[in-house]
Amino acid sequence: MSTSNFRIHPTIGFARVGNSSEYYLEPNTQAALPIPGDTTGNATGGLPVKAGTENDTITSSDLRDASGALKRQAARFKIYAYPAQASETYPMGVEGTEIRIGTQIDGKTVSNIVWTVHLANKKSNWYIIPEDLGIDNYKNGETPALRNDVAPFSSDINDPTRLRQLIIDPGPRTVQGASAAPVAFDQTTPSSSWVDGKGVVQWPNYPKSFPGDFFPNMDCPNGPIDTLGELQTDQYGRLIVTGGYGRACGMIDPNTNKPYELNSDIDNDGWFDDGSDGPVYAVLQFSDGSTQEVQGHAWVTATDPAYAPQTLNTVSLWDDIYDIWVRHLALQPSLFANGKFQTSYQPSFSDELFPIFRAAAMQMWNTNLSITGTTAHGAVDEIQPDTDPATTLLGGLGFIRDPNDASQLQNSRMMPLSLGDAGQSFLTLRKTQYFFLQQWDQKQYSQTGTVTLNAGEYLDKTMLVNCLGGRFSPGIDLTFIVRDPALYVQNWQTSGTGPFRIQPKPLDYSQAVAGQAFLTAGYTPNIQNNPLGDQQPIDTNPGSPGLEPGDASKFMALPWHTDYNSCATHQPDPLPQFNNTLYWSWPAQRPVAVYVAKDLSGSTSQLPAQRFSVRGEGTATNPFDPAQVGRYQQRIDMVDNWHKIGVVIQGNAIDASDGGPFSAKYYLEVQSQLDNGGDPVVPWPNTVSPSTNEKTDGKS
C-alpha cells in the first residue's frame, strides 16, 4: 500500500484560444508580484513560458507564429506526491515530490503516466445570463430562460435531440508516456479512457457531436468548429492541454435563410464557439506492473486569449475562490472560524496585502486614467511594510468600498474604480481581502512574515491569480459558480484531494450508445442563501452529483467574442441617481486604453498618447459617443478580428523588433495587427449626456 498521496496541480488550469497551431505554456509565476519597494520591476514575472521549456519566459516576438497568427496558451499539469495524512490543514506545511516518468517513490519506479481528459462545450444548451442576479438566478430551484428556446428545438433542456444537436462533445481522450504526440478532440480521433483492471479502453460507440454534424452551411468566419483542442505530454510525462482556435459559427435562421444575427453581448441563439472545459485524471504505472490512481484530480477550461497576462486584477479569481473556501469550507480556522474573522490573524504584508496595492497601481496600463488618477494609484504602490497606514492615501480605509456595507455598493466616490458584480453598481473587494486591509489599518499585520506554500499549492494559486474575479456578469475565465461551495470536493481534509478541487460527476463510458447523447444538461446551482452573505453555514445542495465536461464554461457568454467586445466602458447597473459617468468592466483582462510600445520608441521618459486596445476600421462612433468607444460597432467584427488585438506585457520583455526593450516599470502593448484608426482616447472621467442616460446590454 502506498504511503504517499498523489495530486494533480494546478487544481484548475486554463488553456487559452488562439488561431495558431503553435502554443506557449501558461504562467508558472504569479502575475507581476515584485518584492515591496522594488523599483526595477518584476523581470517578466507572470508571463507564459516557451513551449518545451521550464522557465524560459516568452518575449514579444514569441506571441505570434511566423505567419502572424496568435499562439494559443496551453495548460500544463504536474503530479506531486505528499506524505499521507489522516487529516490535513492548509497550507500543508510539507513539500511534495514532483512525479515524473522515472521518479522513484514508495520504493517503486514510475514507468508511465496515463492521462484522461474529457472536454465539452454546453453553452448552446444552457440558460441565458441575466446580469442583475448572477448566481442568484438559481436561487430556490429557479432557472433563467433557455438559450435557443426557438424552433426547431425543444424547450426541455434534457430533450435527447436537443442534447445531441447543441452540445459539442468529442468524448474523452487519453495520452501517455513522455513527449507524446498531440491527441485531438476531433471527430476522427477515437474516444478512450483509463479503466481500472483493463488499462486504456477505446469507446468506438461514443456519440461524438460537432455543430457541422447537424447544421450544414453554417456561417463560420474563421473556419468550422471541428475540434476542441489537443492533449500531449512533455519530456517528463506532464500533461499539456491546448484549447480551440477561437472560432465561432452561426446556424442558418430558417425564418430568414440567413445566418442568425449577433443581437446580444451575452446570449446569441443559433451560435456556437469552441471554448470548453472538463476533468483531468491521471494513473501512475510502476515498473513492477502495479498502478496507482492519482487521488487529486484537476479541471481544465479553455477560454479567451490572455491579452494582458501580467496585469493584476483588483479582485482575481484566486481572491474569489479563496474567500469562499475561507468563509464556507473551513480552509483556515486561524483566519476564519465560528462565522467570523479572527482578529488574532496577522496577514502577511508581502503575500496578502501588497498584491491589493499593486493591482490598484497596475490599472493605469489598461485604462484611460487621467494624470491625477495614475498619480493617486501609483501612490498606493509605494506603500512599504513599515509605512504607517494612517499616513497613506488609504488611511482609515475611508476610500475603500466596504463589502459588508450594502449602502456603499452604489457610492461612486470610493474604490475600486470599476464596475460591480451582478446587482452591484461598483466593485468591492472580497470580504477576506477587506479583512486583511482592516488588520493592516489597525497595524495588526506582519511586516516580514510570509505565507509558505509548497510547489503544488503555489501552482494552484498562481493559475487563479492570473484570472479575473469580482465582476461575474458573466466574466471571462470562470464565473459566479465558483462562489457555490457545493461546486467543490467537500471532504478535502480527509479524502486525499486537498482544497480547491471541483467535484466531478463519475462517468461510465461503457454505457455510451452511438447516436444517443451521453452528457446531460448537467450541474445546476441550487442556492438557498446568497453565498456572499453572512449567514453561516451556507445552505447549498448537499446532494450535488458533481460536474460533467462542459459544465463550468456553459455559464459564459455565447460566443465569448461579443462579450469581450462590449466590455470596454459602461454606466453602472443599477444606475445610481444622477450618475452619468462611465467605468471599466475588467481592464486587467480586457484592456481598454493602452500605451503602444512602438509609439514609445526613442523615448523612455514620457509616455505617448494612448490608443484603444480595440481600434481601427469598424470601431469609430459617428457621432462621437463616449459610451461606445473602444469596441466594434458591429459585433460580428470582433468574431472576425479578435486574433489581431495586441498584448500588454512588461517593457523588459519587449524585443527590438517591437521597439524595445523598455523599462521594467512599463507595461506596453505589442504585436497588434489593428490599424490606429477609430476614436481618440480621452482621459477619464468620461460621461454620457444626462438626458440620454445611456445604458447598453453589455454585461461583461
pLDDT at 579: 86
Q: Which is nearest to 502 in space by CA: 490, 493, 514?
A: 490
Cis peptide before 403 (omega within 30 of 0): no
Q: Per-residue confidence at 697, pLDDT binned at 50, 70, 90?
A: very low
Q: Per-residue confidence at 55, pLDDT binned at 50, 70, 90?
A: confident
pLDDT at 538: 43
CA dist 543 and 537 (Å) reads 16
Type of residue at 493 = Q
602 pLDDT exceeds 70?
A: no
What pTM was estimated for this model as a whole?
Answer: 0.95
CB burial of residue 69 (10 Å; 0-12, 13-18, 19+):
middle
Torsion 105-111-113-114 (CA) sign: negative
- Give, for 291, the enclosing helix (H) or strand (E): strand 291-293
Contact, 310 vs 46, CB < 8 A? yes
pLDDT in tens, 428-456: 999 999 999 999 999 999 999 999 999 99
As a whole number, mean pLDDT of residues 104-111 equals 97
pLDDT in tens, 259-310: 999 999 999 999 999 999 999 999 999 999 999 999 999 999 999 999 999 9
pLDDT at 689: 66
Report the 10 Å Cβ neighbour count for 528.
13
For the ranges 130-134, 459-463, 512-516, the lowest mean pLDDT is seen at 130-134
CA torsion 358-361-366-367 (nearest 10°) is 150
pLDDT at 31: 64
694 pLDDT exceeds 80?
A: no
pLDDT at 128: 96
Of the two residues 604 and 151, the one the predictor is more confident about is: 151
As a whole number, mean pLDDT of residues 42-68 equals 87
Share of the chain above pLDDT 90, in %: 80
Radius of gyration over every alpha carbon of the chain, rounded to an integer in angstroms: 24
pLDDT at 534: 44
pLDDT at 692: 44
- Mean pLDDT of all residues in the chain? 91
Q: Which is nearest to 43 in space by CA: 650, 656, 662?
A: 650
693 pLDDT exceeds 80?
A: no
Domain locations in the chain as residue ranges: 4-312+455-511, 349-442, 575-670
Q: Is 353 helix (H, G, I), strand (E, B) or coil?
A: helix
For the ranges 23-37, 120-134, 654-668, the lowest mean pLDDT is seen at 23-37
- Give, for 97, the enclosing helix (H) or strand (E): strand 97-99
695 pLDDT exceeds 90?
A: no
As a whole number, mean pLDDT of residues 52-68 equals 92
Q: Which is nearest to 468 in space by CA: 594, 358, 314?
A: 314
Q: Which is nearest to 654 in space by CA: 70, 71, 58?
A: 58
pLDDT at 537: 38
